[in-house]
Amino acid sequence: RARNDAILVGSNTLREDNPKLDCRIMGLKDASPIKIIISKDLDFSENLKAFSKYSKRSLIFTSIGSKKNILRFKNINADIFKFKLNDFKLKNILEKISELGVSNLIVEGGSKIFGSFIKSQLVDSIMIFRSGHFIGNKGLQAFDLENFNFSSKNLNLKLKNFFLIDDNHLE
């Protein structure tokens, strides 16, 4: 995370996992990236771990126009960017993120967000972390490509490296 300008998740990941989205390795906390949340409806609480009082700046991208709903976020260190529903597209959001000075972005969350990036061919590389523990059918699908009518043959992915980290794998 410390090697990136920003870290991006969708509202489902934010709600379900309640992640901090920061660096917790000693000496790297101040290198935590800007947090970027994509949420069409602002359907998450402002009291989540990602918005703690010690948190770095957050950028929230939404299509909702309700000032009342947006006012919930006035006490956190966040900038809210509103798009018209027709303009609420990943490409437009990424253009705005780039204008704000973000050039290295890590997308860390959610099968819908991952699927959207892959479908839009907005991915430079994919890093897959896998636990060495088998969890059976209780796991979550990493990429939601089902609703995209998209073939994995178009991805043209090649395994470049494989690392063992304790009992975990990084591909």
**What ranges in 9-151 are assigned the alpha helix state H?**
11-17, 67-71, 90-99, 111-119
C-alpha separations of 108 from 56, 86, 136, 142, 162 in Å = 17, 25, 22, 11, 19
Give mean pLDDT in consecutive 10-residue pieces for the chain, a chain of 171 residues.
Answer: 89 91 84 91 90 83 78 84 93 96 88 84 81 66 56 68 83 79
Q: For residue 112, what pLDDT is reported?
A: 85
Specify the 3-state DSSP secondary structure of 61: strand
Q: For residue 18, what pLDDT is reported?
A: 93
Q: For residue 23, what pLDDT is reported?
A: 85
Q: Is 1 exposed, middle or buried (0-12, 13-18, 19+ CB in 10 A)?
A: middle
Helices (H) and strands (E) in the chain, counts: 4, 8
Task: Read off the amino acid at residue 83.
Answer: F
Q: For residue 15, what pLDDT is reported?
A: 92
Specify the pTM. Answer: 0.82
User: CB under 8 Å to 121, separation ≥6 — which residues?
Assistant: 154
Q: For residue 11, what pLDDT is reported?
A: 92
Q: Report how far residue 79's alpha carbon sits from residue 98's, in angstroms, rounded to the nearest whole number.
A: 15
